[in-house]
């Protein structure tokens, strides 16, 4: 028995035995697959450049932290605190604290090594509300050897204007320790520095009304003319109006459009997700203390020949015993110094030519071919810069 197969379509039930219905269904399925493949090809074909969000390369005006600092006492240490006989400020602080509590100690009674004077620091986040908590860092100020097991007493934290913005107190958490005996001491980390998670309560707010602003300044973290202009162009393209302009390499000024009046937060939320490709000058960073070299991708060289050779002089002193011959009655046994001098001029050193406009990878490969280490590479880079063949800025840390 033959049965007609029916297909569900957008317009109803169509007999599957009809050729026209099958043709329409197959055509629609093929069109959908083609659209999907085209979309996937566009996604895969998009260049993987170094685009970054605007929020990752700029700081918005008014959105900033404020540094707080305070002086306090850590108690409860196991004999690792300050020496009160030598730390006069610790002794005075302890006396002042006890006096406020109605206790009048004598100088002879203050002989504890379980107290340490500390500096307490933290950062007050932007737009923090009263009652919120922040982490604090506690650092020993005197000769305490460890803050392990201590408790920070109530410590007011002040800003640059001298006002108290937060109060800290709590059990300190130390990431290091010190242990030792008469012959050896082992130290891990820094036992004189500690943290208190959520150890400070904000007592004063910093009022700042963003919605009342008529313009906002965007400060670039890495100033650059090209990057500033690209940010302004991206913002203008998004808003559809020339509302932003680059004032200098580090500042882009954004005038709040009429559609965002009183809604500056919404404006910044919209533009901070825009992506731009930051530009940077060709720069080489050198840390001579550790021998670290960091080169930017835009570093280029003119044609130059590089040769590296070391002059090594090795002097070895050896003591030899000289004694008279057998049955000799005139000589004496003595010690004679023997000196051996070896000079190595690296006769296998080669001269390498670096062609004009080579890339960073080619330049590094050329230096590696000479067997040059980081220390010698620093000297070579400085010599190439002095010869005028290095189109990059060298910054020594």
Nearest to 236 by CA among 224, 226, 245, 247: 245
Per-residue model confidence (pLDDT) at position 344? 59
Q: How does strand 393-396 pair with strand 6-9?
A: unpaired
Q: Specify the pLDDT at position 346.
A: 57
Alpha helices in the chain (DSSP H): 19-45, 88-100, 225-239, 264-271, 360-369, 374-386
pTM exceeds 0.85: no
Residues 369 and 350 in one domain: yes
Q: Quick one: pLDDT at residue 300?
A: 79
Number of neighbouring beta carbons within 10 Å of residue 227: 24
For residues 225 and 337, state if they share a domain.
no
Task: Count up the domains in the chain and report the number.
Answer: 3
Summarised one tens digit per residue, pLDDT across range 217-246 is 999 999 999 999 999 999 999 999 999 999
Same domain flag for 268 and 292? no
Regarding whether 74 and 172 lie in a shared domain, the answer is yes
Same domain for 236 and 337, yes or no, is: no
- Spatial distance between the Cα atoms of 376 and 369, rounded to a whole number of angstroms: 13
Task: Evaluate whether residue 15 is within a structural domain.
Answer: no
pLDDT digits 0-9 by tens, 63-117? 889 999 999 999 999 888 998 876 678 888 888 888 888 888 777 767 788 999 9
Q: Report residue 133 as tokens.
A: 């908590």
Of 261, 274, 353, the residue nearest 307 (C-alpha): 353
Residues 314 and 388 in one domain: yes
In a domain, 292, yes or no: yes
Residues 295, 240: one domain?
no
pLDDT for position 139:
95
Q: In this structure, are residues 171 and 217 in contact, taking their beta carbons and an 8 Å threshold?
A: no
SS3 302: coil
Boundaries of domain holding 145: 66-178+187-202
The pLDDT score that the predictor gives to residue 229 is 95
DSSP string computed for 358-387: --HHHHHHHHHHTT--HHHHHHHHHHHHHT
**Residues of the chain scoring pLDDT < 50:** 1-22, 24-26, 28-30, 33-48
347 and 219 in a single domain? The answer is no
Please say whether the dihedral angle defined by the alpha carbons of residues 120, 123, 128 and 132, taken in this order, is positive or negative: negative
Domain match, 289 and 269 both: no
Q: In this structure, what DSSP letter does residue 317 have?
A: E
Q: Are residues 221 and 302 in the same domain?
A: no
């Amino acid at each position: 028995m033959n049965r007609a197969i029916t297909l569900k379509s957008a317009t109803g039930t169509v007999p599957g035995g009809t050729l026209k219905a099958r043709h329409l269904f197959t055509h629609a399925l093929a069109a959908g697959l083609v659209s999907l493949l085209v979309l996937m090809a566009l996604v895969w074909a998009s260049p993987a450049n170094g685009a970054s969000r605007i929020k990752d390369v700029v700081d918005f005006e008014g959105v900033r932290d404020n540094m707080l600092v305070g002086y306090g006492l850590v108690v409860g240490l196991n004999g690792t605190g300050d020496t009160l006989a030598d730390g006069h400020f610790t002794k005075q602080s302890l006396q002042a604290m006890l006096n406020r509590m109605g206790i009048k100690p004598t100088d002879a009674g203050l002989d504890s090594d379980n107290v340490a004077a500390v500096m307490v620091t933290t950062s007050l986040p932007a737009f923090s509300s009263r009652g919120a908590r922040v982490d604090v860092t506690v650092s020993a100020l005197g000769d305490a050897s460890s803050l392990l097991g201590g408790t920070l007493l109530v410590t007011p934290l002040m800003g640059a204007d001298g006002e108290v913005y937060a109060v800290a107190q709590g059990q300190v958490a130390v990431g290091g320790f010190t242990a030792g005996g008469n012959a050896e001491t082992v130290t891990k980390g820094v036992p004189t520095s500690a943290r208190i998670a959520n150890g400070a309560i904000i007592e004063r707010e910093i009022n700042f009304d963003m919605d009342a602003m008529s313009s906002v300044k965007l400060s670039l973290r890495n100033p650059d003319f090209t990057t500033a202009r690209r940010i302004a162009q991206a913002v203008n393209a998004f808003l559809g109006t020339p509302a932003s302009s680059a004032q200098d390499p580090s500042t882009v000024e954004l005038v709040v459009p009429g559609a965002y009046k009183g809604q500056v937060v919404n404006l910044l939320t919209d533009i901070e997700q825009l992506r731009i490709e930051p530009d940077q000058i060709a720069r080489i960073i050198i840390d001579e203390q550790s021998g670290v070299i960091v080169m930017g991708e835009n570093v280029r060289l003119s044609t130059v020949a590089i040769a590296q050779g070391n002059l090594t002089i090795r002097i070895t002193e050896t003591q030899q015993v000289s004694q008279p011959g057998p049955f000799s009655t005139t000589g004496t046994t003595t010690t004679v110094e023997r000196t051996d001098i070896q000079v190595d001029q690296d006769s296998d050193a080669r001269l390498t030519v670096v062609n004009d406009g080579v890339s960073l990878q080619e330049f590094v490969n050329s230096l590696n071919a000479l067997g040059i280490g980081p220390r010698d590479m620093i000297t070579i880079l400085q010599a190439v810069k002095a010869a005028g063949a290095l189109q990059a800025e060298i910054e020594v840390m």
